[in-house]
Chains A and B, each alone.
Chain A
Amino acid sequence: MSTDPPITVDIKGEEVQELEREALGPDPTYADALAAVDLSPHEVSVLVDGRPVPEDQPLEATELTVLRLIKGG
């Protein structure tokens, strides 16, 4: 039985998704959470409490905001 709270992923402009932490494998990173919602670090930024977090860092937060990048040339 799961004891960890779900990970809430708010993808701006789309939907809010919930992930079970156990489904992300042992010692997941923010990049693992992105992969679970079919997104790549190359196309988005992850923010926690309004601040960007490196995607390769251990997943500690339970509420993530995901922004598709706005850039080009």
Chain B
Amino acid sequence: MTDSHTPQPVLVVPDSVRKALVEAARDAGPEECCGVLGGAFDPQRSRVTSWYPAANAADQPRERYLIDPTVQLEIFERLEDSGEDIVGFYHSHPRGPPVPSQTDVDAAAWPDRSYVIVVGPFEDERGSERPAVRSWRWRDGGETGHFERERLESPRGGPDDA
């Protein structure tokens, strides 16, 4: 259940990181890209300062993504060494949907972290559709676990980001 008095969560992402994530999604071609976002974590307002790409270890990388646990641990150790928190993760949906899939819902395991999705198309951008970067927080609640959409802000996006 959503508390209407709770403000929408926010993820502050530098423009350079947004562009890099779109570029990573484009480079992955028809497959999904994935990685970890580092920075300052807060359940309502997190700030991204770095991104760590990882190979997609899923058996069906066009429809699924998976970060190998040993790779995940290496990334987390680099995060810890640089004094960063685990802010969240990113992956791409080369052919949609523009929201978390049912597979994303079924596999979500990190309460309150950000799940950034880079939505295609990446192969033909001459049309009206352009790649988009969107983010959700996973709100764990057993049977009622759900993704909550969050607002993306640029570090220069407003006085709250100062």
Contacts and interface: CB of A to CB of B under 8 A. Distances in A.
Give the size range of A's interface with the partner.
Answer: 10 to 19
B123 interface: no
A34 to B, nearest CB: 12
Given A13-B86, A44-B109, A65-B73, A70 B36 contact: yes
Interface of B is mostly: mixed
B70 A72 contact: no
Given A12-B86, A13-B86, A72 B69 contact: no
A31 interface: no
Contacts of B86: 12-13
Nearest to B102: A73
Nearest to B54: A70
A26 interface: no
A13 B79 CA distance: 11
Given A12-B86, A47-B73, A51-B70, A72 B110 contact: no
B122 interface: no
A68 B110 CA distance: 7
Interface residues of B, number: 29
A43 interface: yes
Interface stretch (B4-12, B15-23, B60-68, B124-132): B60-68
A50 interface: yes
A70 B64 contact: no
Contacts of A70: 34, 36, 66-67, 72, 89, 109-110
Interface string B17-51: 00000000000000010101000000000000000
Which residue, of B63, B72, B101, has the highest number of chain A Cβ atoms within 10 A? B72
Contact of A69 (B101, B102, B109): B109
A12 B109 contact: no
Contacts of B89: 70
B2 interface: no
5 contacts: A45-B69, A69-B69, A71-B67, A73-B103, A73-B107
Interface of B: 32, 34, 36, 58, 63-67, 69-70, 72-73, 76, 85-86, 89, 91, 100-104, 107-110, 113, 115
3 A-B pairs closest in CB distance: A73-B103, A72-B104, A45-B69
